[in-house]
Amino acid sequence: MGDDAAMAAMTSKEIIRRILNHDNPPRVGFHFNDFKYTDFCYVASRAHIDEKPNPYERWGKHEELLKLTGFSGEVRADRYGNIYGRFNGKTKGECIRGAIQDWSDFDRYLMPKIDPAYPDKLKGMALDKEKKFVLAGGFSIFSPLRDARLMANALADTALEPEMVRAFCDRIAEHEVAVAKTLSGCGIDGIMAGDDWGTQTNTFISPESFRELFKPAYKKAFDAYHDAGIQCFMHSCGYILNFIPDLIDAGVDAFQFDQPDAYPSELLAERFGRRAVFHSPVDIQKVLPTGNRELIEKRAAEMLDIFKGCGGSWIAKDYPTYSDIGVDPKWARWAQKVILAGAKI
């Protein structure tokens, strides 16, 4: 069988696994919004059971929450007791009052129960029928801390309350170990963790603090997913170059970066392309928003060459909602056409 015929015979699942395992993939991966041109399907990774109904789950003018926070817009609360606010439905909202006002509240910050019926529901969905790589929405370690304590307090806690930060992260990780065990054998191929760790130029905390306080929790969770036969993706916005080696060591198989040229892509491929995969669009800050077809097509071609040079460690993707970032979808399709035409390694 010739190379082209062999590639045509491979399923999307097989191609993505080869990419993630650095096992001579026949082409780069595709994760475009058009289902015709994607190697992935996406599912929720869990369903929880709340012992009590949450009357504040949806956005609204909840008087009790407005009085508690002094906020004037719309509010809602999650199952942990974090309260979020937004103005007139025009933003996605931000946590305005955390569930852990003081660390004495930590004992009341409990993980939800996993729905024991959910694994059977996943199995009943026959996730493998399309032969796609099944990627599930996953978990965060830092984001729950940021919400429960609010950003300024969370960062201060890394210096002033390191033991409580470690205990918080470990509680999240232990929950993920339980989730991973329930998902074993349910047809899920990958899990997407997500924490925004960077500004435009650096990380929120030092690599030493990350290594001491957060890395053990990530490793515990990623190890559990790997034990369940599930590969690990990690989304992060911002510039996190100094964290990448530790995250690879903790078990990240693929990094989902929407701004790969913050590094830029050449550096990512050169330093990490043989150890990790990059699951990224053409850069959504420096390239796609320009609307410059020549620049967009040129950068798409360059990214193909860059990542082909390290064995094909690129899964080219779309941003899920281009309207949110002021990008005309047709600009992204210019990049997509270049990538589809030149994807073969």
Output the CATH code of domain 3-53+105-342. 3.20.20.210
Please tell me whether residue 233 adopts helix, strand or coil conformation: strand
In the chain, where are the structural domains located? 3-53+105-342, 54-104
Position 89 scores a pLDDT of: 73
Contact criterion met (CB below 8 Å) for 56 and 228? no
Q: What is the pLDDT of residue 140?
A: 97
pLDDT digits (tens, 9 = 90+) for 4-29: 666 678 999 999 999 999 999 999 99
Tokens standing for residue 268: 């990512």
Q: Could you report the per-residue pLDDT of 206-252, keeping only the tens digit for each?
A: 999 999 999 999 999 999 999 999 999 999 999 999 999 999 999 99
Query: Residue 122: left (phi > 0), alpha (psi -120 to 50), or beta?
Result: alpha
Long-range contacts of 26-29 (CB under 8 A, 24+ apart): 26/344, 26/345, 27/312, 27/343, 27/344, 27/345, 28/304, 28/307, 28/308, 28/312, 28/314, 28/315, 28/316, 28/339, 28/343, 28/345, 29/277, 29/279, 29/314, 29/315, 29/316
Question: Residue 80: what are its φ and ψ, rounded to 5°?
Answer: -90, -15
Mean per-residue pLDDT for 129-141?
93
Residue 163 tokens read as 């033991």
The string of pLDDT tens digits covering residues 165-201 is 999 999 999 999 999 999 999 999 999 999 999 999 9
% pLDDT > 70, the chain: 98
Q: Is residue 117 predicted with pLDDT exceeding 50? A: yes
Above 60 in pLDDT, residue 2?
Answer: no
pLDDT score, position 1? 44
Q: pLDDT tens for residues 270-318?
A: 999 999 999 999 999 999 999 999 999 999 999 999 999 898 899 999 9
Q: What is the pLDDT of residue 46?
A: 84
pLDDT at position 232:
98
Could you tell me if 234 and 190 are in contact, meaning their C-beta atoms sit under 8 angstroms apart?
A: no
**Residue range 61-84: mean pLDDT, rounded:** 96
- Mean pLDDT across the stretch 33-42? 93
CA gap 178, 151 in Å, rounded: 27
Task: Look over the chain and give the mean of its residue pLDDT values, rounded to a whole number.
Answer: 94
Residue 47 confidence (pLDDT) above 90: no
User: In which band, very low, low, confident or very high, does the pLDDT at 44 lie, cut at 50, 70 and 90?
Assistant: confident
Judged by DSSP in three states, 89 sits in coil
Buried-exposed string 215-240: b where 16+ CB fall within 10 A, e elsewhere: bbbbbbbbbbbeebebbbbbbbbbbb
Determine if the pTM surpasses 0.85: yes
Cβ atoms of 294 and 331 within 8 Å: the answer is no
Cβ pair 172, 141 in contact under 8 A: yes
Of residues 171 and 124, more confidence is placed in 171
